[in-house]
């Protein structure tokens, strides 16, 4: 078993992790970034990106490649492996992958989150070709088109409302006869003339060879009909990639990592949380001193490449300051 010691280890190779790598490497902290396998996060599954500042139009994988090259320029070591286990009980922290064990004085977690999908073969085949899980990211491509949103929660309502800025008609397809979304969100959707709700229906197949052209939907009576659309937005939830950290740091009820910022918000909303576990001098710190988190594994609200990048930068600055203030452990 090989052993290696680092000042900073970054877990995750998406915008948050790579932004953290750029900043910590420029701070001469010699970070090692474990990018995962396959590396790159959700942007690797995204076709065109038009809303990342500085790039009017770029493919998601190309944007990740630019991030990686910039991080490597400042001597970040990138390893395309998945961390399999961690031990945060003492510093230096221990991380394991393959047959190797490494230690680090500080860890930045940027493992991201994954959209939940219907898991239809046709849906997966047309991802990035009219099938999306982000109206904010991709709604612009459907100006004056007909689109459908699948889901019944607040996220689905928000996606539908966003899409009305672009599409001429937005269907919401829900498998039940009522939404689970908040009443105010339901009222907004039901009062919007551009939105049409299809109750008690499920999607059997996404139609189209090279792009989305329609859906086969089934009602409660098992009757199947075709629905002509140009785009399909899946809004049935997200799952953070944080299983590795269960019982290692504090997670919320959905599995998102709780940092000082979100702990303060939860406390303000009278949510039960042990605030003594958090150091509010470091907004991105988790319940373990020296362990920070950024990006979609923390942020269940915005879930954008730009916000993830900004959080990664904040985590890097926090980690740098924490290491400086705790020189005795490094």
Q: 203 with 150: CB under 8 angstroms? A: yes
Is 297 in the active site? no
Is 134 in the active site? yes
Q: 21 with 5: CB under 8 angstroms? A: no
Tokens 């792009």 appear where?
211
Name the catalytic one among 87, 99, 134, 274. Answer: 134
Query: In the Cβ-directed half-sphere of 53, how many Cα atoms lie within 13 Å?
Result: 5
Nearest to 126 by CA among 221, 45, 226: 45
Name the catalytic one among 138, 241, 296, 318. Answer: 138
Cα of first residue to Cα of last residue in the chain, in angstroms, is 23
Q: 132 with 232: CB under 8 angstroms? A: yes
Is 138 in the active site? yes
Provide Rg for the chain, Cα atoms: 21
Name the catalytic one among 28, 75, 137, 318. Answer: 137
Measured CA to CA in angstroms, residue 180 lies from 149, 175, 297, 309 at distances of 15, 11, 24, 32
Active centre residues (catalytic): 134, 137-138
């Amino acid at each position: 078993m090989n052993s290696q010691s680092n000042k900073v280890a970054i877990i995750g190779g998406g915008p948050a992790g790579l932004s953290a790598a750029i900043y910590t490497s420029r701070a001469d902290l010699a970070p090692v970034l474990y990018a995962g396998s396959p590396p790159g996060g959700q942007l690797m599954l995204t076709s065109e990106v038009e809303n990342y500042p500085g790039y009017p139009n770029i493919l998601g994988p190309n944007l990740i490649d630019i991030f990686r090259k910039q991080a490597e320029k400042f001597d970040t070591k990138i390893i395309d492996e998945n961390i399999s286990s961690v031990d945060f009980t003492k510093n230096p922290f221990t991380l394991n992958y393959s047959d190797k064990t490494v230690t680090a004085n500080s860890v930045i977690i940027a493992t991201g989150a994954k959209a939940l999908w219907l898991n239809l073969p046709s849906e997966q085949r047309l991802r990035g070709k009219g099938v999306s899980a982000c109206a904010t990211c991709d709604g612009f491509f459907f100006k004056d088109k007909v689109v459908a949103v699948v889901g019944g929660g607040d996220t689905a309502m928000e996606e539908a409302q966003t899409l009305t800025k672009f599409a001429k008609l937005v269907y919401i397809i829900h498998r039940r006869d009522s939404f689970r979304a908040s009443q105010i969100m339901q009222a907004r959707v039901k009062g919007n003339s551009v939105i049409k709700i299809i109750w008690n229906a499920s999607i059997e197949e996404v139609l189209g060879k090279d792009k989305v052209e329609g859906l086969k939907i089934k009602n409660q009576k098992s009757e199947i009909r075709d629905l002509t659309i140009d785009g399909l937005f899946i809004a049935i939830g997200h799952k953070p990639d944080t299983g590795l950290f269960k019982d290692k740091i504090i997670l919320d009820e959905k599995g998102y990592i709780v940092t000082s910022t979100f702990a303060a918000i939860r406390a303000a909303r009278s949510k039960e949380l042990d605030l003594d576990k958090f150091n509010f001098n470091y907004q991105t710190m988790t319940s373990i001193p020296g362990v920070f988190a950024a990006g979609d594994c923390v942020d269940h609200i915005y879930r954008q490449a730009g916000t993830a990048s900004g959080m990664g930068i904040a985590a890097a600055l926090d980690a740098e300051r924490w290491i400086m203030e705790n020189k005795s452990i490094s």
